[in-house]
Each structure stands twice: as C-alpha cells, then as structure tokens.
Amino acid sequence: MFLQMKNISKNFGPVKALKDVSLEVGRGEIHGLMGENGAGKSTLMNILAGAFQPTTGEIYFNNERIHQMTTIKATEMGIRFIHQELNVVNDLKVYENLFLREEILKNFCFLDHKSMIKKSIEVFQRLKIDINPNELVSELDTSRKQLVEIAKALLFESKLIIMDEPTTALTNNEIENLFEIMRTLKKQGVSIIYISHKMPELFSICDRFTVLRDGKFINSGAFKDINEEEATEMLVGKSVSSIPLQRNEIMEDTIMTVEGLTCEPFFKDISFSLKKGEVIAITGLHGDGRGELAETLFGARKTTKGRITLNGRLLDLSSIREVMKAGIGMVPRNRKERSIISDMSIKDNLSMAYLTTEHKKLMVNKKEELERFRRNQELTGIKVGDPNDLITSLSGGNQQKVIIARWLELGSDIYILDNPTQGIDVGAKYEIYKLINALTKLKKSVILFSAEFPEIYKVADRCLVMYKGKINAELKKKEMTEMMVMYYATGSNMEGLKCESKT
Amino acid sequence: MRIENITKPINNKNFKKIYKEYSYVFSFIILVIIAIAVNKQFLTYSNLSTLIMQSSIKGIIALGMTLVIISGEIDLSVGSTCALVAGLGVVVLNSTESIFIMLVFCIVFGTILGTINGLFIRKGKIASFIVTLATMSAYRSIIVQLGQGGPFNVSSEMYPTFRMIASGKILGIPNLAIIFIVISVGIAFLMQETKFGKYVYAVGSNENASKLTGIHVDRIKILCFSITGLLTGVSAFLLSSRLTSITAPNAAMSFELDAIAAVAIGGTAMSGGRGKIFGTFLGIIMLQMIEGILIAAKIPPFLNGLVKGVIIILAVLLQRKRTEK
C-alpha cells in the first residue's frame, strides 16, 4: 500500500476525536473519505498533513514509517492538502499565494517573478480557468479563491493530494474541469483522498471508500460494491438522528416582515416574512451574504436600505440592545469566537443577555441567578454538574443550549440561529433540533441559517436559497431536495439564463 | 428533564482547581516565609502596617489597572497622570488653601485624563498600548514644563495639616492603610457583585460575544479607564500629602510598572477576562515585601528594577502554564 495510517487515535483534552482509525490508499487511487460533520475526517487528514500529532498510531508512506510528521515534512514528501476553509492570504497577489514558502529564486536570493507568473498561467490553463496571476486574492470571489487553492496543489510534483470538500463553492462546469484533472493525475500515478458530502460526486470519481462515524472506523471497500443507500446507512448509522420530528401547526399571523433589506456589498434587497411558530431556513454557499444578513437582522451591522416590521411595529435596528428588547434573540455562528464568554461560568453566560436588557438593579443577586439558571435548565435540558463551573467545561451541544436559553429568559419571540450545530456531535445535533421544535410549540419563530441540507430538511418549513447576496429561490417543504438547493445556491438557474441570452 | 449530578469527592483534581484560582495566595505565603527568614521582625504589627502603608499609593493605582487589564486593555500613562494631577493639585491647594477643593480637583482631573485615554482608544480605535504610551509622554512633559523642571512645594501655611492626611494614624492604624483597604473592598465589591463588574469580565474575555448579548463594549472599556483615572487622582492626592513636594521629572516615576507588575503577580490574565482585586491587593504588597527582602539580603538597590522585571515575566509564564493545563 502506498499510504497506510494504522490505529490512529487523537485526543483533544478530554475529547476523543479519533479512536483507533485506519486508512489505506493505493498508488493512483482516488479514495473517498466519508463521514458526517464531526466524524473526524478533517482531524485524520490534519494528522496526515502534519498539522496535528496523533496521540497514538503509526503512519507509513511509501512503505516507510514516518515519525513526527510536520507540515513542512509532508510538503517535502509530496503530500498536498487542499483545505476546506480557504487558506489563502488575501493581501497577496494570486501568484504570490501559489508560490508562498516555495518561491522560485534567481541569482541565489531574488524572487523570480517572471517564471512564477508564467508557471501560474500554465496551471490555470490546465484547469481551464481565467484568473490573472497578478490580481490580489482579496479581489476574487469565493469560488475563485477555492480554485487558487486547488491550483496551488497542482503546481508542484505531488504524490498524494488531500481534497477536503473542494467543490462546495464551485459551479458545475468548474467541478467537471476539476474531475478531468483528477482523472489525469490518477493516470500519472498520483493518489487522491477526496472528502465530500455529495454522494453522486463520490460515486462518479472515487475508486474506494473509507467511512468514519463519531471518530471511529466503520468500513472500507470499493465503490462499485455498494450503492448510495448503503453508503448513507454507513454514514448515519442507526443513530437517533434518523427519528423524524413531529412538527406543530404554524399559526396564521405574521410576526415579522423584512422589506428590501440591503447592506452593500454583502446583500441586496432581501424581503421575506415570518409567521408565528414557523421555522425558515436561509441557506447558500460561502460568500452569499448569509452571515452578514444574520448579523443585520440582529442589529449588529448597519443597513443601507430597507426595513423590518415586528409585531406590527417598525424595528429600530440602530443598536443590538433595541433589537433584543423588541424580542429577537441570536445564537451566533463560531461559538468559541462569537457566543460563549469562555472565562465566565455557565450561569453567568446564561444570564448575560438578561442583565443587559431587563435587569434594572445595580447589584446582581446570586440566588436569583441560580433560580434563573434552574428554570431554563429544565426548559432546555442542559446537562450540567455545577452551574458555577466554567462554560468551557460543557460539551458543544450543551454550550449551545445555554446560549439558546439566554433568549428564552428574555421571552424573545424570534430566534436567529446562525449555524447552530457547527462542531457538535450527531446526538447533540438532534437535541438541538428537538429544542428548535420545542420553541415552535411555545409559538416562537426561528430563522435558521445553515449550509447543511439534512438539517434544513429536518426542521424548516420553508427554505430561502441565497446566491451572491440575493434570495434566489424560496422552496416549500415539498420542493426541498438537496439537488434543488444546490441548483439555486450555485446560481445555475442564472447561468442558464445567461447562456440563452448569448445564443 | 434529568439533571445529572456529578458528585465530586475532595481529591487531587479539586486541589488543583483551588490552586489554579488562588495561586497568588500560595505565592504570598511562600514570600511571607522567606520574609520571616531574612527578617525576624517581619511579623510585628508596626512592620506589617508600614508595609501596607508603603504599598497603598501605588496599590490604589494598581486596583484601577486591574480593571483595565481584565477588560482586555492596558494603561501605561498612570505614572505620568499621577505626577500631573499631583503637581497641579499642589498649586490648587496653595491658591485655595482648601484641602477639600484640592481633593475634588484631583478626583475630577484624574477622571478626565483617564477618560481621554479611553475615548482615544475606543472612539479613535487606536490600541491602548499606543494611546497610553503617547499620553504617558505628554502628561509628564506638561508637568515638567509647568514646574520648569523644579518641584511643586506645599506652602508652609498648609504644610502641617495637609501632611497629616498621609502620615496620620487612627487608633494606631496608618491612614493610608485604612484608605487603601477601604478602596480595595469597594472595588472588589464593584467587580464581584454588580452588573458593571460582570460586564468588565465579559468584555475582556470575549468582546464579540459581549457585543452580541447587548453589552455596550465601548462604554464599559471607557469607564474602566475613567475609574483608573479617578483612582490615580486619589493616589496623586495622597502622594502629595506624603511627600509635600512634587518634583515633576521623577514623581510617581515607573508607577505603571509597579501597578502592572502587581496585577500580573496577583494572578490576573494579561489577555483579559480573568483576575481578582484581592490578587492585586496581595500583589502590590508582595512587590513591597520583595523590596524589603532585597534590602535585608543586602542586594544593591539598583538591581530592584531587574528583580521586578524578572518577577513580571515569571508571573505571566506561570499563569500561562496554569491555563494550558
């Protein structure tokens, strides 16, 4: 075998991200690595690329045991990693990014700009894309940044390329071109580890598969021996998350109307309405302006145009506190950076929003705080020992429940959940879905910002698909399929229009 | 819903937790033992009260510094602010012949200077390190110019009464020690029992998250600088009473160093979000004790700065070790 990872385990503090996982990839093989979010795929690949050290386990590359893998060593051995998150430096030019840390030199120490630009053009031609190497990366939109990332891996002689969801931001044409290059590379004996959630892609391009679930090895084999259904079953397992949720009746009265909301250059002319007890999902790809929209709805970003009516009254978007008082709560994305206050206790994290808006006294009464915590703990099912422990002692799912409970305490009517199940395990995800359902029972409305289709399908009544800062389509429950969502999220309908008008 | 009750036996883990939170108390105890070893008189009442008295003027500034550092910023200008307020305070005292008016002046002027720092930092969006470095230089320069390099002396009419504020005793306890303890308790109360205190910790721990729960981050941080200015004003008042003569070029020199050192030794995280007022209280006393130990151990006083520098680095290093575990 060309690459063997044997019995790899990795602990992050008390969290066991990988338990005894093995992976084998042959020369010139395209290997599909499958698993739900949080299954441990990225961790495993980061270990292979030398970014993390495994707690236990062995790596063999070309039949040679590799001790103490580092990112530099991995690059020297010809292992390339195309990351899921874009790892480009925005303030450098395209070609400077491509050759970062591997610059071509002339006369011993001077940068050879000319040949670097020439090589960049060559690689872009192979990829059949027209990106000017002299352009600043910050000028490119997300799909093009992704292509730069891919080009970087193709620039040098490599033996193994790891592609972590490279197609999420690409259009269908670009994906087809990428696949063609992958096939060429395969003929040249380059191995590829391909991570994706899209079954059709995996089945069309990959030879063999390995499935991980909850940090454990589940199965490995050839794609030709299985079908999509079997693959899904391996991915999901017989976990609780497949139990369907019982939805409640949506009330007829509209609680919120958004009209022509604009925040240049992120999004333009967003209009929708929300009923009592309704869950709508807003989805799209990177760079669609979804994150900015979530912030704007909460008053955390200034609008240039448009208005929001809530409960028949015009909403004052000038400060977060006004929006909170009007009855909107928010669970921000990137829990670590934007929502938990890591040096404070569980109890204080829950109380914080109440303290800023409702609490009128100067002093904070410890007994009241504890009562407040117990009350909301019961509602949301937070599992905790001592509420005075630091919030970081909780698991991701329980942390998220604390953040949701913040707004319950304020009696908020609308809950903006921005990527609420990011980085939490499958079981905890289902708990969050149940909680969303419970919110609707209390006649609360939810706006869910998410990029995960299964999640949207599970909880949302309607789905708005964004593309380049605009709402491209509104899908009812019956129309919601992953295909339809991707079709509108990639703007394929607009591409189609363009082609027609040209011919 | 089920509530999981995790039973916690008193074990190694609990001890570690206590140590993590109160490590400054442990260092204090160690230092006391060393101090007793080099100075048999250390535990006498007169020695202890002198120790607190000597720490008090810098200590009051260090209390404000704790707020600023917990909120995630830093203030390098406190020494110069103290000198500027003290120098002008003496001028006010001499011309009005009223100690009360001087006190009010010191408090108000100190607060204004602190607020100016805060406004530049938050509204002008300049790093606190840069703003306070600039005002450190500016405030000192103003007072040196006003005094033409010479001292500001308390007039002979005011001297006897004014001097007694810092040098007097009530029931055998030095006034300075009483004032320091009272202000410490007040600030500790502010940080532990009020909403404002919670906000300061929250803002220092995670500014983004704090903003998204409706905390006015700018307002809280500016207030921290204002409070530091206010306390520096009080400290300037006491300094002039103690010295009765403010020599502009070197009065309150390197107070910022001592204040920051006390905060670091007291276990406050330099990155913000964590820290205790009691820690700083012990921290400034520890600094004073170290000076005493150095003298008793016959280490040349010129090396004081070296020792303080080493202690700051060690304190922060130990903190890092603790948080990583």
Residue carrying structure tokens 């359902």: A437
Let me know if A285 is exposed, middle or buried by CB neighbors in 10 A (0-12, 13-18, 19+): buried
Expressed as residue numbers, the domain containing B262 is 47-324
Looking at the complex, does the CB of residue B195 fall below 8 Å from at least one CB of chain A? yes
Looking at the complex, does the CB of residue B269 fall below 8 Å from at least one CB of chain A? yes
- Where in chain A are the domains? 3-242, 254-501
> Percent of chain A beyond pLDDT 90?
17
How many helices and strands, by DSSP H and E, does chain A display?
17, 22
In a domain, B135, yes or no: yes
Alpha-carbon span B11 to B9, nearest angstrom: 6
Q: Count of domains in chain B?
A: 1
In a domain, B222, yes or no: yes
Same fold, A3-242 and A254-501: yes
pLDDT score of A486 more than 80:
no
Contact B213 A353 (CB under 8 A): yes
Concatenated DSSP letters of A327-358: TEEEE-SSIIIII--TTSBHHHHHHHHHHHHT
In a domain, B121, yes or no: yes
Q: How many beta-carbon pairs below 8 A join chains A and B?
A: 92
Residue B85 is part of a domain; what is its CATH number? 1.10.3470
- H or E element in which residue A55 lies: none
pLDDT tens for B66-121 read 999 999 999 999 999 999 999 999 999 999 989 999 999 999 999 999 999 999 99
CATH 3.30.70.2190 fits A3-242, yes or no: no
Looking at the complex, does the CB of residue B18 fall below 8 Å from at least one CB of chain A? no
Alpha-carbon span A81 to A192, nearest angstrom: 10
Name the residue facing A364 among B198, B211, B215 (closest C-beta): B198
In a domain, B3, yes or no: no
Query: Quick one: A254-501 is in which CATH superfamily?
Result: P-loop containing nucleotide triphosphate hydrolases (3.40.50.300)
Task: Provide the shortest C-alpha distance from residue A293 to chain B (in Å).
Answer: 15
pTM score above 0.90? no
The contacts of residue B50 (CB under 8 Å, 6+ apart) are B174
HEC states along A407-439?
HHHHCCCEEEEECCCCCCCHHHHHHHHHHHHHH
Looking at the complex, does the CB of residue A337 fall below 8 Å from at least one CB of chain B? yes
Least confident of A222-236, A290-304, A465-479, B78-92: A222-236
Name the residue facing A300 among B2, B211, B216 (closest C-beta): B211
Looking at the complex, does the CB of residue A372 fall below 8 Å from at least one CB of chain B? no
In a domain, B13, yes or no: no
Which of A343, A355, A369 to probe the B interface (max B CBs under 10 A)? A343
Q: What is the mean pLDDT of chain B?
A: 87
Residues B239-268: what's their mean pLDDT?
Answer: 89
Contact B202 A341 (CB under 8 A): yes
Task: Provide the shortest C-alpha distance from residue A407 to chain B (in Å).
Answer: 9
Query: What tokens does B285 get?
Result: 């006393």
Query: What tokens does A220 get?
Result: 């490995």
pLDDT tens for B119-160 read 999 999 899 999 999 999 999 999 999 988 788 888 888 888
ipTM exceeding 0.90? no
In a domain, B22, yes or no: no
> Percent of chain B beyond pLDDT 90?
49
B-chain residue closest to A406, CA distance: B213
Looking at the complex, does the CB of residue B193 fall below 8 Å from at least one CB of chain A? yes
Amino acid A75: pLDDT: 86
Which residues of chain A does B6 touch, with a Cβ-Cβ cutoff of 8 Å? 385-386
Contact B8 A385 (CB under 8 A): yes
Task: Provide the shortest C-alpha distance from residue B190 to chain A (in Å).
Answer: 9
User: Which pLDDT band, with edges at 50, 70 and 90, does A500 fall under?
Assistant: very low
In a domain, B4, yes or no: no
User: Which pLDDT band, with edges at 50, 70 and 90, does A426 fall under?
Assistant: low
Task: Provide the shortest C-alpha distance from residue B189 to chain A (in Å).
Answer: 10
In a domain, B99, yes or no: yes
User: Which pLDDT band, with edges at 50, 70 and 90, does A8 fall under?
Assistant: very high
